[in-house]
Structure 1
Amino acid sequence: MVWIPQIPDLVDRLGAAELADALRDPATATVPVALDDPEAGRISGVAVLAAWLAVQDTWRAERKAEIEEVATTFGERRAVGEWVVHLEGAEGERVGLPVAAVVDLASALPVRVHHSRLPLLGRHVVRRPMTPPDPSAHVSDVVGAYLAALGAGDTAAVVAAFAPDGSFRGPAADARRYTGTKELTELHDAFFSAGGGIPLTLCTVTEDGTRTAFEYVVDRWGGADLPPQPGLAVCARGSDGLIASARVYDDLEAPVE
């Protein structure tokens, strides 16, 4: 339940001014609008969208939300924005919630929001996939090697894809990064202790030469079957061509501690 008011700006930068205007003020919509949110699910129609955005405005004000921009990855007809929303938690503490949004002008669902609900609810929530797998989707160079190693459960190969000071940030806590060979090795050893790797089925890939953002569906973690559910990750390359940082946005409940 986190709408980022900067999302229409991404739509504008892709050249879809009418859609951007509709997202800012649904009452003025001259084109169909549809988006998918982790809590509300599929939202379409002027009245429904307007009511939901009004609730979002109130919710952000009540939670004293501050939005920190992380990065934006632009493709030809798609953009992926990343933010951390700093807000007031249930006990009054400040919580950092990583949020990503895909703006995809070629899709019937042009706005797709990704974030975990663990920081908000204290639990994961299974979500249905938003976009179908694409057999033609592929990622290039070191990111492809990383995904192959992740699927195979090969810790050494995963870590080899990262720069020596590379980092991994999961979806639930912006403050916790696993940085460097030792921490990345320990993290992925724990991931793969469930009996194998974590294969991801690609749905979309957006690349700008530095960052690769990919949406995926996951239905297996090691030896455990999972309900098919969506996620998004962004890998940024460093000057050496290796992964400098990987950031994940999903709501998977891992079968490991």
Structure 2
Amino acid sequence: MPWFPEFSTAIELARRDARAREQADPVAQYLKALYDGGPGVLEKTWPGDVVVHDPRAGVIRGHRELRTFIHDNREWMAAHDARLEVVGSITVDGRAAVELLVHVLHDGREVAWPVAVVAESLDERSVEFRTYCSQWPVDGLQHLRPAFLEVGAVETTDVVARHLEALAGGDADSIVKSFEPDGYLQEPIGPDNLHRGTAELRAFYAESLSAGGFDVQPCAGTDDGASCALEYNLVGWGSAPPQAALAIFERGTDGLLAAVRLYDDVTRPAS
């Protein structure tokens, strides 16, 4: 049956093509697994190592822990009538950063909870998911999250680099100058917590920097030219230990920042 080898090859090619499509959007797979409560698609697409860094559950390693985590997460989402809304994404060279609004019921009212998820494919069989958010919108508490990534060789450029240098120097005026006139900063606790325009930004940063500057130590970056997702460790802010965080820097058309959105549970020092 001379057709059989060709038929087998066609099936294998089809399988590889399907797997490549699934691997191209790992965050979508992850979110579907969390929402539907079924880890099967992740296990099929990533049969090697699967690691999850979650602010609430900690570190999840391997398929057995993944199944338990997804089951527990699905129960929590069902209990809080959660809905997921994707509001932005950046994908570069095997790493994707996706911004979400998770709509949940908390104390009898609906809350829009900003969450960011980074997926990094370590090889063709393995993947790592890292979630960043403040838990304040869903439990009213601030949870210090220790740093879990190593400082990496991440080169920041242009206005993002200038912004970070100004933060380290505690220079509120230079920070504000890195924004467009109508630029804004969004705090981690919700999309309504914005500081827009020169006056609001100056007031926010002056208060935030009253305890001095702090060092943003980059660990991993995803930058498509229009936006940059920077995973970093925040150090030297008051007496707090190094803390894990992610920021989205959205560039405007004039080389300045249109927006900075923070995803963290960073403990801010008393002024």
TM-score norm. by structure 2 comes to 0.82
Give 1:121's aligned amino acid: D
Aligned equivalent of 2:249, options 232, 235, 243: 235
User: Helix, strand or coil: the match of 2:239?
Assistant: strand
**Structure-2 separation of matches of 1:84 and 1:114:** 12
Asked whether the 8 Å contact 1:114–1:231 carries over to 2, the reply is yes
Asked whether the 8 Å contact 1:164–1:180 carries over to 2, the reply is yes
1:197 and 2:213 correspond: yes
Specify every segment of 5 or more residues in structure 2 that has no aligned partner in the other structure, as ranges. Answer: 1-19
Check 1:143–1:45 CA distance in 2 against 1; reply closer, same or farther (3 A cut).
Answer: same
How many residue pairs get aligned? The number is 244
Give 1:174's aligned amino acid: P
Aligned equivalent of 2:232, options 200, 205, 216: 216
1:167 and 2:184 correspond: yes
What is aligned with 1:155?
A: 172
1:12 and 2:23 correspond: yes
**Structure-2 separation of matches of 1:173 and 1:79:** 22
Give 1:94 deviation, angstroms.
1.4
**Structure-2 separation of matches of 1:239 and 1:250:** 27
Matches within 5 A, 1:112-151: 112-134=130-152, 136-151=153-168
Give 1:95 deviation, angstroms.
1.4
TM-score norm. by structure 1 comes to 0.86
**Structure-2 separation of matches of 1:94 and 1:117:** 15
Comparing 163-172 and 116-125, the one that deviates more: 116-125
- How many percent identity over aligned positions? 32
**Structure-1 separation of matches of 2:26 and 2:209:** 43
Asked whether the 8 Å contact 1:116–1:124 carries over to 2, the reply is yes
**Structure-2 separation of matches of 1:115 and 1:78:** 18
Give 1:236 deviation, angstroms.
0.5
Comparing 18-27 and 31-40, the one that deviates more: 18-27
Give 1:122 deviation, angstroms.
1.4
**Structure-1 separation of matches of 2:97 and 2:118:** 5
Check 1:87–1:19 CA distance in 2 against 1; reply closer, same or farther (3 A cut).
Answer: closer
What is aligned with 1:33?
A: 50
Asked whether the 8 Å contact 1:71–1:81 carries over to 2, the reply is yes
Give 2:109's aligned amino acid: E
User: Helix, strand or coil: the match of 1:110?
Assistant: strand
1:44 and 2:73 correspond: no
Check 1:99–1:106 CA distance in 2 against 1; reply closer, same or farther (3 A cut).
Answer: same
Give 1:168's aligned amino acid: L
User: Helix, strand or coil: the match of 1:132?
Assistant: coil
User: Helix, strand or coil: the match of 1:174?
Assistant: coil
Check 1:118–1:109 CA distance in 2 against 1; reply closer, same or farther (3 A cut).
Answer: farther
Asked whether the 8 Å contact 1:139–1:212 carries over to 2, the reply is no
Asked whether the 8 Å contact 2:82–2:105 carries over to 1, the reply is yes
Asked whether the 8 Å contact 1:112–1:130 carries over to 2, the reply is no
Asked whether the 8 Å contact 1:200–1:218 carries over to 2, the reply is yes
What do residues 12-39 of structure 1 show as CA deviations (whole Å, max 9, x unaligned)? Answer: 3258999999984166462221111001
What is aligned with 2:8?
A: none
CA RMSD of aligned residues (A): 2.7
**Structure-2 separation of matches of 1:83 and 1:32:** 25
**Structure-2 separation of matches of 1:174 and 1:20:** 20
**Structure-2 separation of matches of 1:10 and 1:180:** 41
Bigger Rg over Cα:
2
Runs of 4+ in structure 1 over 4 Å off: 14-23, 26-29
